[in-house]
Structure 1
Amino acid sequence: MNWYVSVLKNYVGFQGRARREEYWMFVLVNFGVTVVLSLLQALFGIDQVLTSIYGLAVFLPTLAVGARRLHDTGRSGWWLLLNLIPLVGTIILIVFLVQDSQFGNNRYGANPKEKF
Structure 2
Amino acid sequence: MYINQDKLHKLRIDKNWSQDQLATIAGLNIRTIQRLEKGGKASNESLRALASAFEVPSSYLLTEEKEALDYPVNVIKRSVINCYDFSGTIAREHFFWFALFIILTLALAKLISLTTGPLLFQITSLVLFLPWLSTSTKRLRDAGLSPWWQLMILVPVAGVILLLYLLTFPTLKTSD
Q: TM-score, normalised by structure 1?
A: 0.82
Among 104, 116, 129, the alignment partner of 1:46 is: 116
Equivalent position amino acid for 2:136 in 1: G
2:137 and 2:86 mapped to 1: Cα distance? 6
Tell me if 1:36 matches 2:128: no
User: Which secondary structure does the structure 2 equivalent of 1:58 belong to?
Assistant: helix
Q: Flag structure 2 segments of 5+ consecutive residues without an equivalent.
A: 1-72
- Which residue of structure 2 lines up, in the alignment, with residue 25 of structure 1? 97
Equivalent position amino acid for 2:131 in 1: P
Q: TM-score, normalised by structure 2?
A: 0.56
The structure showing larger relative contact order (alpha-carbon pairs under 8 Å, at least 6 residues apart) is: 1
2:106 and 2:155 mapped to 1: Cα distance? 24
> How many aligned positions are there?
104
| Root mean square deviation, CA, Å | 1.4
Deviations along 1:12-37, one digit per CA (max 9) or x if unpaired, are 11111111112111110111111122
Structure 1 vs Structure 2: percent identity of aligned residues? 29
Deviations along 1:4-57, one digit per CA (max 9) or x if unpaired, are 111001111111111111211111011111112222222xx2111111111111
- Compared CA separation, residues 7 and 46, structure 1 to 2 (3 A): same
The structure 1 segments of at least 4 consecutive aligned residues displaced by more than 6 Å after TM superposition are none
Larger deviation, residues 83-92 vs 72-81: 83-92
Q: Flag structure 1 segments of 5+ consecutive residues without an equivalent.
A: 111-116
- Which residue of structure 1 lines up, in the alignment, with residue 88 of structure 2? 16
2:105 and 2:157 mapped to 1: Cα distance? 24
